[in-house]
């Protein structure tokens, strides 16, 4: 099977969508698929690279198309439609898989649907999240996103909560499949948890991540300390907030770290904490990393995929979003009971192995692709 993935960026660019795109591409290569990934470059020069399946060494192509600028985090890549048309005209693509939200990619796909070279290639959409933080921009690009969803032969999401709760997806819910995210187990499964250090937060220092709520919780749980991994525009404000609360001596701001650095911190972490406060947190991939490492999770019970990853009381503790008192109580329970942390962590590791490995995700994706192709053949091979 030959898959062309169309995303926004690709690692080493850091972000949840990029992490998952890499896991999909590498996993599909290891599963025997041919894979091409098209994304924006971080400069005005097109870059051609290879990607490899880590288990088989099977190679695919990574095409980073020239980016001439940014508008509200959207890369401006005027060469994208031509590049996609050239790729599809070669006849080597079974499925065109676009990752949304990405308005210019949506526009390029819509243009291709009117082009004879691409008309017979099924259009698959992975819909990662509603646009919740850029309200004006979201309204402007909404027609493009809706049109792309309407044209799609199939739509996939990472959680039932997103499928059932997104107003954007509502008109096309009958063609939405749920495939939970999965990640490569290493380096996380190499961790031997000691549970003798701080709790751990990993994420960007932006409002929806709820780090201010976490600091408020620390003020109510004087025995708890936290390591904060990540950077972002709120770092200075959060440091000042910790000082005002008198908790600065129990907080370490450690900046950005790669996966191996985070895995080392998970070895000593008593728990991972995910205190996000709104629907911008659509899944929380870091939960999977903690579960793979056998580390307990304390997270906000958001009405998103976050709430579907763990089993409350079995693999994790859930608290109401924005409730610093409830978060303080949950962290204190973890801190004071190594048995609780060990029980949740062990159960989380089992759930990860069963539901959230990269191989499980890829097997579900391949089955979904096969269904799209079968329906296309049944309909006469295209629109």
Residue 376 in this model has a pLDDT that exceeds 80: no
24-33, 73-82, 129-138, 230-239: least confidently modelled range: 129-138
* 72-108 per-position pLDDT tens digit: 778 899 999 899 988 888 888 999 999 998 888 999 9
What's the pLDDT score for residue 132? Answer: 64
Q: What is the pLDDT of residue 380?
A: 47
User: Which of the residue ranges 123-137, 314-328, 366-380 has the most confident prediction, judged by mean pLDDT?
Assistant: 314-328
Over range 176-185, report the average pLDDT.
Answer: 96
pLDDT at 269 over 60: yes
For the chain, give the mean pLDDT.
Answer: 92
Domains of the chain: 2-183+358-378 (3.40.50.2000), 188-355 (3.40.50.2000)
Q: What is the pLDDT of residue 377?
A: 61
CA–CA gap between residue 209 and residue 84 (Å, rounded):
35
State mean pLDDT over 29-36: 97
Q: pLDDT tens digits for 46-66?
A: 999 999 999 999 999 999 999
Confidence band of 71 (pLDDT split at 50, 70, 90):
confident
Mean pLDDT calculated for residue range 233-253: 98
- Residue 120: its pLDDT value, please? 81
pLDDT at 381: 46
Mean pLDDT within 148-177 = 95
Q: How confident is the model at residue 10 (pLDDT cuts 50, 70, 90)?
A: very high
Choice among 50-54, 269-273, 374-378 with the minimum mean pLDDT? 374-378
Give the 3-state DSSP-derived string for the chain, with helices as H, strands as E and coil as C: CEEEEECCCCCCCCCHHHHHHHHHHHHHHHCCCEEEEEEECCCCCCEEEEEECCCCCCEEEEEEECCCEEECCEEECCCHHHHHHHHHHCCCCCEEEEEECCHHHHHHHHHHHCCCCCCCCCEEEEECCCCCCCHHHHHHHHHHHHHHHHHCCEEEECCHHHHHHCCCCHHHHHHEEECCCCECCCCHHHCCCCCCCCEEEECCCCHHHCHHHHHHHHHHCCCCCEEEEECCCCHHHHHHHHHHHCCHHHEEEEECCCHHHHHHHHHHCCCEEECCCCCCCCCCHHHHHHHHCCCCEEEECCCCCHHHHCCECCCEEEECCCCHHHHHHHHHHHHHCHHHHHHHHHHHHHHHHHHCEHHHHHHHHHHHHHHHHHHHHHCCCCC
pLDDT in tens, 285-318: 999 999 999 999 999 999 999 999 999 999 999 9
pLDDT in tens, 120-157: 899 999 999 887 655 544 566 788 889 999 999 999 99
Q: What is the pLDDT of residue 231?
A: 95
Does pLDDT of 273 surpass 60? yes
Mean pLDDT over residues 26-50, rounded? 95
Q: What is the pLDDT of residue 140?
A: 65
Mean pLDDT of 172-193: 94
Q: Specify the higher pLDDT residue, 222 or 86.
A: 222
pLDDT at position 382: 43
pLDDT at residue 383, rounded to an integer:
40
Band the pLDDT of 257: cuts 50, 70, 90.
Answer: very high
């Amino acid at each position: 099977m030959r898959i062309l993935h169309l995303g926004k960026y690709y690692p080493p660019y850091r972000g949840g969508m990029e992490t998952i795109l890499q896991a999909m591409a590498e996993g599909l290569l290891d599963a025997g698929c041919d894979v091409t990934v098209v994304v924006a470059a971080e400069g005005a020069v097109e870059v051609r690279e290879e990607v490899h399946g880590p288990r088989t060494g099977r190679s695919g192509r990574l095409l980073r198309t020239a980016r001439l600028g940014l508008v509200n985090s959207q890369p401006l890549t005027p060469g994208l439609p031509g590049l996609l048309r050239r790729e599809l005209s070669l006849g080597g693509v079974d499925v065109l898989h676009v990752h949304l939200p990405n308005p210019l990619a949506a526009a390029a796909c819509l243009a291709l649907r009117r082009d004879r070279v691409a008309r017979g290639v099924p259009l698959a959409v992975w819909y990662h999240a509603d646009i919740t933080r850029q309200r004006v921009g979201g309204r402007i690009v909404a027609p493009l996103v809706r049109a792309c969803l309407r044209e799609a032969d199939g739509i996939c999401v990472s959680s039932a909560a997103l499928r059932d709760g997104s107003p954007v997806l509502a008109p096309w819910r009958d063609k939405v499949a749920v495939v939970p995210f999965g990640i490569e187990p290493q380096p996380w499964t190499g961790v031997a948890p000691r549970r003798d250090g701080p709790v751990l937060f990993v994420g960007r220092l932006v409002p929806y991540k709820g780090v201010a709520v976490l600091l408020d919780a620390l003020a109510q749980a004087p025995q708890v300390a936290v390591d904060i991994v990540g950077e972002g525009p709120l770092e200075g404000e959060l440091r000042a907030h910790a000082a005002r609360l008198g908790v600065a001596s129990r907080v370490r701001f450690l900046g950005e770290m790669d996966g191996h650095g985070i895995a080392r911190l998970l070895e000593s972490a008593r728990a991972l904490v995910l205190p996000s406060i709104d629907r911008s947190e659509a899944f929380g991939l870091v939960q999977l990393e903690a579960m793979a490492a056998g580390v307990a999770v304390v997270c906000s019970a958001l009405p998103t995929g976050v709430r579907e990853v763990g089993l409350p009381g079995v693999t994790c503790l859930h608290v109401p979003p924005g409730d610093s008192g409830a978060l303080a109580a949950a962290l204190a329970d973890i801190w004071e009971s190594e048995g609780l942390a060990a029980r949740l962590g062990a159960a989380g590791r089992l759930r990860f192995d069963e539901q959230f490995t990269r191989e499980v995700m890829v097997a579900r994706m391949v089955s979904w692709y096969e269904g799209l192709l079968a329906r296309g053949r049944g309909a006469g091979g295209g629109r």
